[in-house]
A and B are shown apart, each in its own frame.
Chain A
Amino acid sequence: MARMKKSQNSIGIKELKDQASSIVQLVRDTGKSVIITKNNLAIARIEPLRKTDYLQRLLDLGFISTTPTQKWNELVLEGPVSESSLAMQAIIDERESG
């Protein structure tokens, strides 16, 4: 186990080198990030991936180009309702002919 007190959130780069696995495990277990220092200056941070980071991961992987800027329950559609969706059929027809 890393020799890092629970209250401590920074560790020197030499300690990181010696105890990398333990420190990553600690970050994972506690859910808290750890700052890496060199000559007493903060230079990097190790932080846990949270479940809610899945969108960020999809962004990082390049799968998502744009994220939502409004919620579905705030969405207001305007104009009269339509009796038929020729638009939908046009899309399907275009696929058929493609």
Chain B
Amino acid sequence: MKRFLYLDSSIIASLAVRDSEREKKIFKSIETYEHTGSSEISVVECQSGISFQYAKDSELRLYAEQNLNRIIASLSLYSVNSLVLGHARSLVKQYRSTIGLRTLDSIHLSTANLVQQSLKEDGLTMEYLTGDKRQHEAFTAEGFLGYLL
């Protein structure tokens, strides 16, 4: 079965800075999927992470930013639009007081949910990869299969 993989920004940022602990595992995981995507918001989150890690090293920051551009070119970017934000709001209503769903997690989860619904018609499924334990819990609560690296 063709499968879609949703990459959280934590994973993309980890690749961009070439995290020695995770790089091989991430590539190995990605190659088993037919298609990989992430939210448009991931680009901003990743830039924030890179700028934090290399605040005092412009050379390494440039490498990481170029890596980020290449990674983004290998992904589908899912739109952050009114539909995504509306669904994110309902997820926050549902999960804020129970599992403590955070704002940015709700946008990632909403995006994955809406794409997944559209893929169901073709018998396709979406899984996720994240480095964020709380996001992992949020995706699991919505019934997604995925991995915490």
Contact = CB atoms under 8 A, between A and B. Distances in A.
B78 A65 contact: yes
A40 B22 CA distance: 62
Interface stretch (A3-11, A13-21, A30-38, A66-74): A66-74
A1 interface: no
Interface in B114-149: 114-115, 118-119, 122, 124, 131-132, 134-135
Q: How large is the interface on A (under 10, 10 to 19, 20 to 34, 35 or more residues)?
A: 35 or more
Nearest to B149: A88
Contact of B131 (A82, A92, A96): A92
B124 A54 contact: yes
Contacts, number: 153
A84 B30 contact: no
Given A85-B13, A87-B16, A54 B122 contact: yes
Interface string A28-67: 0000000000000000000000010011011001111111
Contacts of B105: 95
Contacts of B115: 58, 63
Dominant secondary structure at the B interface: helix
Q: How large is the interface on B (under 10, 10 to 19, 20 to 34, 35 or more residues)?
A: 35 or more
A25 B16 CA distance: 48
A66 B49 contact: no
B77 interface: yes
Contacts of A82: 17-20, 53
Given A63-B114, A75-B74, A98-B102, A87 B52 contact: yes
B49 A90 contact: yes
7 contacts: A68-B36, A68-B76, A75-B70, A77-B18, A84-B19, A91-B10, A95-B132
Interface in B60-91: 60, 63-64, 66-67, 70-79, 81, 83
